Amino acid sequence: MALLDVSGVTLRYKTSSAVVTATERVSFTVDKSDRFVLLGPSGCGKSTLLKAVGGYMRPSEGRMTIGDREIHGPGADRMMIFQEFDQLLPWKSVLANVMFPLLTARKLSRRDAEAKARAYIEKVGLTRVVDAYPHTLSGGMKQRVAIARGMAMEPDILLMDEPFAALDALTRRTCQDELLQLWSETKFTVLFVTHSIAEAIRIGNRILLLSPHPGRVKAEVIDVDKVSNEDGSAGRLEKEIHDLLFAGEATGH
Ligand SMILES: Nc1ncnc2c1ncn2[C@@H]1O[C@H](COP(=O)(O)OP(=O)(O)O)[C@@H](O)[C@H]1O
Ligand SMILES: [Mg+2]
């Protein structure tokens, strides 16, 4: 059985003047230990889908289950990591930020929460700034703290919404490598959103392509591991995905 089952999910925003269909009947399943990527251009409903899986938005059609539980609201079994660098609490140190949800969940004593927080801060290589405050950290370091905070909760699935998109290219690359390194240690499950084809291929073992207005599934899920074990295959796959995403569209020339 899949860990996450998103089945025929339509998500709409109702504003005072209009109804926007962000995604229409989107279905996919994520297995345990998948690095599952939602890939598509801006406006195809990636963030909306992630919000819904996070329990912050109810579908107008379809259903979502995690394990055998229907998703009705937010839960500690799903931790979200965003693109923005301001997702940390500015008045708390790195350690206190990572401890915060552990304490709020009330499952651990303060001492156990601190030990767990320190262990995850070490995993992301930030032990030397454990007592620092967010405003003293670089963007990449802030994202590492957010990742440590999410992972320390040991959720069933990590939800990552373009977590590296606002970083410079070199830092982004390092953060991608570190995420993969962490994954190889603990084989956590991640649902990762990006609009970058190259990032999708680097991060994902499976990729779902979405098209915009309204957000729909564009092609079958791509099994990256099956195609990317030969030389030069990443480049070929990148072109293939580009063609799938933009099939049927005028080139503008
Ligand atoms: N709060 C909102 N109110 C109304 N429409 C929204 C809101 N958030 C997103 N949308 C619309 O929903 C669609 C999908 O947006 P989004 O999920 O942010 O896409 P993506 O993350 O793929 O760029 C877009 O057409 C967007 O304009
Ligand atoms: Mg988005």
Distance 41 CA to ligand 2 centre (A): 9
Which atom of ligand 1 is least distant from the CA of 38? 22
Is the minimum distance from the CB of 42 to ligand 1 under 6 angstroms? yes
| Distance (Å, whole) CA 203 – CA 205 | 7
Ligand 1 closest atom vs CA 161: 21
Looking at the CA of 53, which ligand is closest?
1
Q: What percent of the chain has pLDDT over 90?
A: 82
Which residue has a Cα nearest atom 14 of ligand 1? 45
Q: What is the position in ligand 1's atom list of the atom closest to the CA of 162?
A: 21
Q: Alpha helices, DSSP H only, in 88-228?
A: 94-104, 110-123, 139-152, 169-186, 197-203, 224-227
Q: Whose CA is nearest to atom 3 of ligand 1?
A: 13
Flag the least confident range among 123-127, 134-138, 242-246. Answer: 242-246
Listed by start position, the domains of the chain span 1-73+204-220+236-253
pLDDT of residue 230: 66
Say what the pLDDT of residue 232 is.
72
pTM of the model: 0.94
| Measured distance CA(43)–CA(210) in Å, rounded | 10
Angle at 88 between CA 82 and CA 91, to 5 degrees: 165
Residue range 44-77, pLDDT digits in tens: 999 999 999 999 999 999 999 999 999 999 999 9
Q: Is the CB of 20 under 6 A from ligand 1?
A: yes
Per-residue confidence (pLDDT) for residue 106, from 0 to 100: 85
Q: Indicate which ligand has the atom closest to the C-alpha of 15.
A: 1
pLDDT(225) > 90: no
Q: Residue 231's pLDDT is what? A: 67
Q: What is the pLDDT of residue 251?
A: 54
Distance (Å, whole) CA 134 – CA 94: 7
Residue range 138-169, pLDDT digits in tens = 999 999 999 999 999 999 999 999 999 999 99
Mean of all residue pLDDT scores within the chain: 93
CATH of 1-73+204-220+236-253, one of 3.30.1330.10, 3.40.50.620, 3.40.50.10190, 3.40.50.300: 3.40.50.300
| From 48, 82, 161, 193, mutation site for ligand 1 pocket: most ligand atoms within 8 A of C-beta | 48
How much distance in Å is there from the Cα of 16 to the middle of ligand 2? 22
Omega cis (within 30) before 163: no
Confidence check: pLDDT of 221 > 90: no
Indicate the top mutation candidate among 17, 47, 217 to test ligand 1's pocket, ranked by most ligand atoms within 8 A of CB.
47
